[in-house]
Amino acid sequence: MVEYNPSPLDSVFQALSDSTRRQMLRELADGERTVGQLAEPFAMSLAAASKHIKVLESAGLIRREVRGRTHLCRLDPSPLSNAQRWLASYEAFWTDRLSVLDRLLRDAPATPTTDKDADP
């Protein structure tokens, strides 16, 4: 059997691909939460929430600390910086392309409308 070991960037995007996990990250941006607190807005079981949290942990986006029987989660945004850098390269690409298109459209001669082009 072939094992798949995703790159850290793959893990981040896979974790962010789910809206529940993105909402959990938004909650954690305001401070640490228990697994129960993270599960509450979704009316999901603690087991289901734990699966989402494990994906976020695997991507390095959250840290979990066990205090007695309570599992506290907190955000670790550092893996997002790699994702942001990757996205920024495409942002620069599209900004350049759209700037060229803008220049072409501004420099293009205006085409006069004829009677047949006008709306009736």
| Residue 1, in any domain of the structure | no
CA 47 to chain centroid: 23
| Residue 70, in any domain of the structure | yes
| Residue 72, in any domain of the structure | yes
What is the count of structural domains for the chain? 1
How many Å apart are CA 28 and CA 22, to the nearest integer? Answer: 10
The domain in which residue 48 lies consists of: 8-78
For the stretch 12-36, pLDDT in tens is: 999 999 999 999 999 999 999 999 9
| Residue 93, in any domain of the structure | no
| Residue 99, in any domain of the structure | no
**pTM, entire model:** 0.72
- Residue 62 predicted with pLDDT over 90: yes
| Residue 119, in any domain of the structure | no
**End-to-end CA distance of the chain, in Å?**
68
For the stretch 74-105, pLDDT in tens is: 999 999 998 898 888 888 888 888 888 888 88
The pLDDT, as a whole number, for residue 37 is 93
The pLDDT, as a whole number, for residue 86 is 86
| Residue 44, in any domain of the structure | yes
Binned at pLDDT 50, 70 and 90, residue 2 comes out as: low
| Residue 61, in any domain of the structure | yes
The pLDDT, as a whole number, for residue 1 is 58
How high is the mean pLDDT of the chain?
87
- Which residues 6+ apart lie within 8 Å of 21 measured at CB? 15, 52, 55, 56
Residue 27 sits in a domain of what CATH number?
A: 1.10.10.10
